[in-house]
Amino acid sequence: MKRKPNRDVEPVVPEQILEQALAASETDKRVAPPAKCVVCGSDTAPTSSEGLCWVCRRLKISAWRDNDLQMGAQE
Ligand SMILES: [Zn+2]
């Protein structure tokens, strides 16, 4: 049984509080904020260079694996 990621759930943290937290954290870290995931808008993993968060990277990797299996089965 496959579990679907809950992309449509409401954010747990209200936007206003989130903005305040972000504004407060800006003074802490002077480094550039992590890029947003191009798929779901989450913070990307610090090690990611492809604009994907770890969730979407895992989905992408598992999709590759599925493709490989399908291609292999067609041969
Ligand atoms: Zn993502």
pTM given for the model = 0.43
- Decide if 60 contacts 51 (C-beta within 8 A): no
Task: Give me ligand 1 centre to Cα 51, in Å.
Answer: 8
Spatial distance between the Cα atoms of 6 and 24, rounded to a whole number of angstroms: 28
Q: Is residue 6 pLDDT above 70, yes or no?
A: no
In degrees and rounded to multiples of 5, residue 71 shows phi and psi of: -65, -40
- At residue 70, the pLDDT reads 80
What's the angle, vertex CA 4, arms to CA 3 and CA 7, rounded to 5? 145
- At residue 40, the pLDDT reads 94
User: Which pLDDT band holds residue 59 (cuts at 50, 70, 90)?
Assistant: very high
Task: Give me ligand 1 centre to Cα 38, in Å.
Answer: 7
Q: Render pLDDT for 10-45 as a digit per residue (tens, 0 to 9).
A: 667 788 888 888 787 766 556 666 788 999 999 887
Q: Is residue 68 pLDDT above 70, yes or no?
A: yes
> Among 34, 36, 40, which residue's Cα sits nearest to residue 56?
40
- Decide if 42 contacts 53 (C-beta within 8 A): yes
Task: Give me ligand 1 centre to Cα 43, in Å.
Answer: 8
